[in-house]
């Protein structure tokens, strides 16, 4: 499998990210059901920033797309935020979407670990040290909670 093929098949979760954010905007009480969801699970910087700002504003009380847009000037426009807020939100599928997002994140992390393994193959330090480096990264990946 070539690198291009690998990246083409790497799980993309942008639609799933939109569904999660839409649900959080529409049903703010759903923040209580996504405690293990982390900003780094989001693939794009602007959606990661949006999630962080939504968590911040939710911790202070109700929020809307206008207050989000004000805080995210230069990151997301009111039009983009309105599009997300108007998408279909579903509490029924919320946990499944979180599971898809975390799975896609873990797949991206696994790809990074495979790159580390490739790099370590050419190093000259003892093999056990190299294996230990990989095992540390794999353990971090295994320690992350699964959803769905």
User: What digits encode the pLDDT tens for the residues 41-96?
Assistant: 998 888 999 999 999 999 999 999 999 999 999 999 999 999 888 888 889 999 99
Average pLDDT value for residue range 98-113: 88
Output the pTM of the full model.
Answer: 0.78
- Let me know: does 68 contact 76? Beta carbons within 8 Å: yes
**Helix segments in the chain, DSSP class H:** 3-9, 14-26, 45-60, 65-71, 78-86, 94-120, 127-143
């Amino acid at each position: 499998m070539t690198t291009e093929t690998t990246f083409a098949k790497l799980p993309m979760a942008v639609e799933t990210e939109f569904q999660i954010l839409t649900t959080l905007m529409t049903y703010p009480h759903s923040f209580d059901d996504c405690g293990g969801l982390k900003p780094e699970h989001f693939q794009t910087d602007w959606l990661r920033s949006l999630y962080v700002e939504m968590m911040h504003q939710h911790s202070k009380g109700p929020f809307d797309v206008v207050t989000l847009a004000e805080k995210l000037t230069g990151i997301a426009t009111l039009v983009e935020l309105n599009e997300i807020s108007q998408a279909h939100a579903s509490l029924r599928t919320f946990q499944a979407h979180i599971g898809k997002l975390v799975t896609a994140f873990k797949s991206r992390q696994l790809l990074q670990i495979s790159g580390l393994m490739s790099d370590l193959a050419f190093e000259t330090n003892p093999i056990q040290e190299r294996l230990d480096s990989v095992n540390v990264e794999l353990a971090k990946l295994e320690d992350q909670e699964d959803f769905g």
